[in-house]
Amino acid sequence: MIALDKKLFRDLLHMRGQAIAIILIVACGIASLVTMMSAYESLQLSQATYYDRYRFAEVFVQLERAPDSLADRIAEIPGVRQVQTRVVVDVNLDVPNLEEPATGRLVSIPEVRSPILNDLYIRQGRYIEPGRPDEVLVSEAFALANKLELGDTLGAVINQRWENLRIVGIVLSPEYVYEIRGTELVPDNKRFGVIWMERDALGVAFDRDGAFNDVTLSLAPGASEAEVIFQLDQLLERYGGLGAYGRDDQVSNRFVSDEIMGLAAMAVLIPSIFLGIAAFLLNLLLARLVSTQRDQIAVLKAFGYDNLTVGLHYLKLVLMITLVGAGIGTTLGLWLGAAMTQYYTNFFHFPVLRYEAGVGLISTAVSVSIGSATLGAFTAVRRAISLPPAEAMRPEPPAQYRPTFIERAGLQRYFSPSGRIILRNLERRPVQAALSLLGIALAVAILVTGRYFEDAANHIIDVQFRHVQREDVTLVFNQPRSARVRYELTHLPGVLQSEPFRVVAARLRFEHRAHLGGITGLEPTGTLRRLLDKKLQTVVLPPDGVVLSSKLADILGVSVGDILTVEVLEGERPTRTVPVVGLVDELVGLSAYMDIHALNRLMREGQTVSGAYLAIDAKYTDQLYTQLKQTPAVTSVALRQTMIDQFQETIAASMGGFNAVLVVFACIIAFGVVYNAARIALSERSRELATLRIIGFSQNEIAFILLGEQAILTLAAIPIGFGFGFGLAALTSHAYSWELYRLPLIVTRASYAFAFVVIVIAALGSGWIIQRHLKHLDLIAVLKTRE
Amino acid sequence: MSDVLDRSGASYTTAPPVVFHVRQLTKTYVMGEVEVQALRSVDLDLYEGEFVVLLGPSGSGKSTLLNIIGGLDGPSSGQVFFRNRDLTAADDSVLTRFRRESVGFVFQFYNLIPSLTAQENVALVTDIALHPMPPREALGLVDLSDRLDHFPAQLSGGEQQRVAIARAIAKRPEVLLCDEPTGALDFQTGKLVLETLERVNRELGTTTAVITHNASIAAMSDRVIHMHSGEIASVHRNLTKVSPAELEW
Ligand SMILES: Nc1ncnc2c1ncn2[C@@H]1O[C@H](COP(=O)(O)OP(=O)(O)OP(=O)(O)O)[C@@H](O)[C@H]1O
Ligand SMILES: [Mg+2]
């Protein structure tokens, strides 16, 4: 077989340009899957490991106030393993070098370090020391955002007085992987931070001496979470319990898990599409590559090589190309996957990062590629060996002459001879033309899909923060206030407009489904916060009933006209029923809205507000901040611009890295496809082109014939590819619908333009290379060798 | 000079064993509405060890006949026996073994593998043959010892043709089927090639069929078969075989 192996080696060398292009396509397909899946799996593993080692609690509840003695009764609930009672309060902070007011969440910890639930990982410094009530630990995210260091002090309003807290440690907690105030969608690490301090100091300061207002607990193996929650709620009913919930509804975990799930959607869906397309292209390319050797296969057969040997010969060719591609793809994927996992620690604060790539995953990706490549090669080999050698040795018979569409329509005089050759070729070899078209269209589709995420994210930001949320600042009071506060707000410096809102913590129930969240009461005539439908038309808030975001309606299984049960978790804790009167297609979060007056009526309270949306004059921002900092009644100040920035950063966190990699891969695949289509056309037609040269066509004329054909195919493929791309985006949008946000089906003109430009550049680049090949077309070789 | 025998040549009295036995062979190519009758009811026997020359105008069906005899193509109807084995009923693996073990081909259009050198093109066949000669030796026989490592594109047409001949004889086949083996060769080289074929025929007893347009080559054959429009027009037995060296072109 030595001579046959030499042929293999020489053939590979000869078609190295094409082989490299194919290798790149396989490599990109495999690398995208391996990168995404390994990063995703590693993040999931890191999360699970972290939760496990640092004893992340399983049930959480906030309450008004309960005596420490109640802890024993909680521990007696069947299924409870470990209980931890705490004091947790939000206070105003004065952070060095920060203009705006910030909120600190003070969380109590034991004076002496012990194996508590939600244990802290000390990144820097040390644990607090007994007898030093001013020592605190701060979260790493907050410390980084504000450039806080060990030994720095923070001002905090404690017991109506500014106190100085000294930072002795910078820590991570499994409870705050995603450090977010409950009321917001995205973290704002500059203006919100978690601070751990000694239990007694905190208890005394906030009137919780010998008492607690927060419980977390872990469950015994096999215990029913729902049952424990039920018992716990009953026990805490008279202590102002705000409703216990499991990890699923714990804010940080919910967001981190959603993000990781979001990554999973991207990690599985898009790379699968990429790998699928790469595999398909591989099939196509190898089939055509082998077809160009049809006469050589016939010679081998004529000399008595059996089908198996011929088949193995081409299998080796396919394996060499595919395995090199798979090797590069896997190596690249592992490397990028590790880098990407590392990159995600900027957003997910895990103390331990574990990187792992499943063997199953890699072998799946590799076998998919090899399988489709082999299949492609074998269809071609089978076609070649099914012919009698005498027939296969002859060049493929020239297609029968038939007037083309152009000639039938009598348009031929508008075309030059070269133009007519192009058109005839396209018409006479419809299968080859269609395959080239399909390949290029898929490359276009990949490019469009790669860009889709950015389009969708930008659309969310535009809708949510420019059409829905139009306030500059959102204030939240430390407790519900009388509506009269509105007039005080308008007198704050720079406030142009203020609209109060009411937020009531509640559990919404329909049949057996429930959602723990809140109802937001808005002024129906308000302009700072608007409810919009899909077409961005304002939805008027009816005077009664509740309007839900469609996603929440989905989760609860309700539609307009159904009656929701609302279990209010504050004040008198009434349980009421409210009809669902409308749905809004918000892309972000899960919300339930009511007319603020209706909500006040539901609560049987006078005109009461929880906070206000403000429009402010930018000139007075600083003064406003200074004033708000000194207002203990205001516990939270959220700035829209910051939210936009944070949201962008969050989306960047969950998708940016992936997306950048995908777009690069998409470009490489697109180049590979376009180049290969042109190269195959060249090798299929080099004899004919050389003959044309010999009978007197100029170099430019034959270049025009070959490249003109490619140009027509490319241009025709682009709109088809746009269609495919849109379809893939629709698929992705459908798969990517989470509580945190939903991806709308938006593909911008810019993305289409991007795909267009990349393909055109790829086509021009390939054309240039082909043109150089044409220049060196060996006319003499054509004369001397016969097919 | 030659005597006219009956059309199939079957009445040859002291006949050695028949190698190929062709009966009612037809081949029709269908191209859309046009049908080309490349062979019409051809009957023919080839005998062990004989040297046959096929003559006939272009398009008369010579290559078609040779291809079918060699198992490269199937007939539209009729039968071909190779030593009592019905090739027309054989499956692909039988045909493959037949070609591998028994036949040496020289194609009209050479059909060298462009990515292999002269020597490697020959090795391609000797690699799978049962009792081959070394590729160098085969190339030496056609006087190409100094072109061993040239690729087909680096060889002249005649040199390519000689590589094709070396490739065919290197396996020491039982039958040698040559489609215009000297078409591209000058007088001297042509003679060299014919001498090689004659020697293989004589020394190894290889049944040899040669298609040619050069009627003078008929003088070195045992029999001359004339084809015309897909039929065997006549078969002459050549009683005064001359050696290739004595041929006049
Ligand atoms: N694959 C094919 N399809 C259709 N017609 C064919 C095919 N191969 C050969 N023919 C036709 O069959 C006839 C016989 O062809 P063949 O090649 O046997 O001729 P030939 O005697 O070898 O001619 P030449 O001396 O020119 O080589 C010719 O008319 C040819 O056009
Ligand atoms: Mg012929």
Q: Which domain holds residue A151?
A: 57-252
Percent above pLDDT 90 for chain B: 51
A573, A620: one domain: yes
SS3 A303: coil
Please say if the pLDDT value at position A464 is more than 90.
Answer: no
**Which residue, A211, A230, A252, sits at the end of a domain?**
A252
**Cα–Cα distance measured from residue A763 to residue B122, given in angstroms and rounded to the nearest whole number:** 41
Nearest beta carbon to residue B109 from set A6, A304, A786 = A786
- Nearest partner of A176 among A75, A107, A262, judged by Cα: A107
Please say if the pLDDT value at position A668 is more than 90: no
Interface residues of A toward B, Cβ cutoff 8 Å, are 1-4, 6-7, 10-11, 14, 295-296, 298-307, 309, 388-391, 393, 397, 400, 778, 780-781, 784-787
User: Whose Cα sits closest to atom 5 in ligand 1?
Assistant: B29
Q: Out of A764-773, B12-21, B181-190, which region has the weakest mean confidence (pLDDT)?
A: B12-21
Determine which residue's CA is closest to atom 31 belonging to ligand 1.
B59
B83 in a structural domain:
no
| A451 lies in the same domain as A549 | no
Kindly report the nearest CA distance between residue A744 and chain B, in angstroms.
54
- What is the predicted pLDDT for the residue at A737? 76
Q: Model confidence at B209, in pLDDT bands (50, 70, 90)?
A: very high
Say which residue the tokens 């348009």 belong to: A411
Q: Does residue A518 sit in the same domain as residue A630?
A: yes
Q: How does residue B14 score in pLDDT terms, banded at 50, 70 and 90?
A: low
Minimum mean pLDDT among A31-45, A303-317, A686-700: which range? A686-700
Q: What is the mean pLDDT of residues A697-714?
A: 85
Tens of pLDDT along B121-156? 999 899 888 889 999 999 998 889 999 999 888 888
Residue A83 lies in a domain: yes
Residues A184 and A86 both lie in one domain: yes
DSSP for residue B133: P
B92 CB within 8 Å of a chain A CB: yes
Is the distance from CB of A251 to CB of A257 less than 8 angstroms? no
CA dihedral B13, B234, B56, B1 (to 10 degrees): 70
CA torsion sign for B85, B89, B95, B97 is: negative
Q: Contact A781/B153, CB-based, under 8 Å?
A: yes
The domain that holds B182 is classified in CATH as 3.40.50.300
Q: Indicate if the pLDDT at residue A376 is higher than 80.
A: no
Query: Is B134 in the A-facing interface, judged by CB distances under 8 Å?
Result: no
Interchain CB distance below 8 Å, A388 and B115: no
Which of A394, A400, A787 is the pocket-test mutation for ligand 1 (most atoms within 8 Å of CB)?
A: A394
> Which runs of E-coded beta strand occur in A393-494?
473-482
Quick one: A682 and A599 in the same domain? no
- B81 in a domain, yes or no? no
What does the DSSP 8-state code read for residue A29?
A: H
What one-character DSSP code corresponds to residue A186?
S
Give me the interface pTM, i.e. the ipTM: 0.83
* Average pLDDT for A590-600: 93
Shortest CA distance from A12: residue in chain B: B115
Which of B245, B227, B242, B241 shows the shortest CA–CA distance to B40? B227
Residue B10 pLDDT: 45
Whether residues A69 and A197 fall in one domain = yes
Residue B186 C-alpha, separation from nearest chain A C-alpha, in angstroms = 16
Report whether pLDDT(A352) > 80: no
Q: Tell me if A681 sits within 8 A of A18, measured CB to CB.
A: no
Confidence label for A371 from pLDDT (cuts 50, 70 and 90)? confident
Identify the pLDDT of residue A780. Answer: 61
CA of A299 to the centre of ligand 2 (A): 17
Residue range(s) defining the domain that contains residue B101:
49-71+90-246
What is the model's pLDDT at position B7?
A: 44
Q: Probe ligand 1: pick from B27, B30, B31, B36, max atoms within 8 Å of CB?
A: B36
* Range with lowest mean pLDDT among A477-486, A552-561, A722-731: A477-486
Nearest CA to ligand 1 atom 3: B29
Chain A residues in contact with B72 by the CB 8 A cut-off are 302, 388-390, 393
Q: Which ligand is nearest to the CA of B65?
A: 1
The predicted-structure confidence for A165-223, as pLDDT tens digits, reads as follows: 999 999 999 999 888 776 566 778 888 899 999 988 888 888 888 899 999 999 999 99
**Are A123 and A84 in the same domain?**
yes
Number of domains in chain A: 3
Q: Are residues A637 and A708 in the same domain?
A: no
Q: Note whether A488 and A507 are same-domain residues.
A: yes
Structure confidence by residue, pLDDT tens digits, B177-199: 999 888 878 888 888 889 889 98
User: Which among A575, A607, A641 is the end of a domain?
Assistant: A641
Share of chain B above pLDDT 70, in %: 94
Is A359 a member of any domain? Answer: no
State whether A784 and B120 contact (CB < 8 Å): no
pLDDT score of A659 more than 80: no
Greatest mean pLDDT range, A175-184, A277-286, B234-243: B234-243
d(Cα A89, Cα A772) in Å, to the nearest integer?
73
Domain assignment of residue B222, yes or no: yes
CB within 8 Å: B74 and A393: no
Considering the domain architecture, whether residues A630 and A719 belong to the same structural domain is answered as: no
Q: Is B88 on the interface with A (CB under 8 A)?
A: no
Say if residue A479 is in the same domain as residue A450.
Answer: no
Q: pLDDT digits over A379-423, tens only?
A: 877 877 787 787 777 655 545 545 666 666 666 666 677 777 777
| Nearest chain A residue (CA) to B118 | A3
Identify the band that residue B247 occupies on the pLDDT scale cut at 50, 70 and 90.
confident
Looking at the structure of chain B, the number of domains it has is 1
Question: Which residue stretches of A146-250 are H helix?
Answer: 199-205, 225-236
Residue B118 in tokens: 């002269």
Within a domain: A45:
no
Is residue A61 in some structural domain?
Answer: yes
In degrees and rounded to multiples of 5, residue B85 shows phi and psi of -95, 125
Determine the Cα–Cα distance for residues A776 and B7; give it in Å rounded to an integer. Answer: 54
Average pLDDT over residues A313-342: 88
How far from chain centre, in Å, is Cα A90? Answer: 31
Decide if B8 is inside a domain: no
- Shared domain for A490 and A580, answered yes or no, is yes
> Which residue type sits at A529?
R
The predicted structure's pLDDT at residue A432: 74
A73-77, A352-356, A622-626, B12-16: lowest mean pLDDT where?
B12-16
Q: Let me know if residue B217 belongs to a domain.
A: yes
Q: What span, in angstroms and rounded, lies between the C-alpha atoms of B139 and A787?
A: 22
Looking at A320-324, B13-17, B41-45, which range is the least confident one? B13-17
With an 8 Å Cβ cutoff, are A10 and B73 in contact? no
Specify the range with the lowest mean pLDDT, choosing from A458-462, A615-619, B10-14, B80-84: B10-14
Spell out which residues line ligand 1, taking CB within 6 angstroms. A 391, 394; B 29, 31, 36, 38, 56, 58-64, 108
Q: Is the pLDDT of residue A717 over 80?
A: yes
B151 inside domain = yes
What value does the mean pLDDT of chain A take? 84
Domain-embedded: residue B235: yes
Position with higher pLDDT, B69 vs A282: B69
pLDDT at A592: 93
Within a domain: A334 = no
- Of A198, A231, A252, the residue that ends a domain is A252
Q: How confident is the model at residue A339 (pLDDT cuts 50, 70, 90)?
A: confident
Instruction: Give the C-alpha distances (Å, rounded to integers) separating A485 from A31, A522, A567, A570, A612.
Output: 58, 16, 27, 21, 9
Task: Inspect the interface and report whether the beta carbons of B120 and A6 lie closer than 8 Å.
Answer: yes
Confirm whether A25 is domain-assigned.
Answer: no
Q: What single DSSP character describes residue A655?
A: I
Ligand 1 mutation target, pool B30, B34, B55, B62, most atoms within 8 A of CB: B62
The verdict on residue A559 lying in a domain is yes
In a domain, A523, yes or no: yes
Per-residue confidence (pLDDT) for residue A416, from 0 to 100: 72
Nearest CA in chain A to B159: A784
Residue B142 resides in a domain: yes
Mean per-residue pLDDT, B2-11: 44
Q: How far apart are the first and last CA of chain A?
A: 23
Task: State pLDDT tens for residues B46-85.
Answer: 999 999 999 999 999 999 999 999 988 889 999 999 998 9
Indicate the average pLDDT of chain B. 87
Residues of A in contact with B110 (CB under 8 A): 785-786
Secondary element (H or E) of residue A603: none
pLDDT in tens, A224-241: 999 999 999 999 988 988
DSSP letters for A258-300:
HHHHHHHHHHHHHHHHHHHHHHHHHHHHHHHHHHTTHHHHHHH
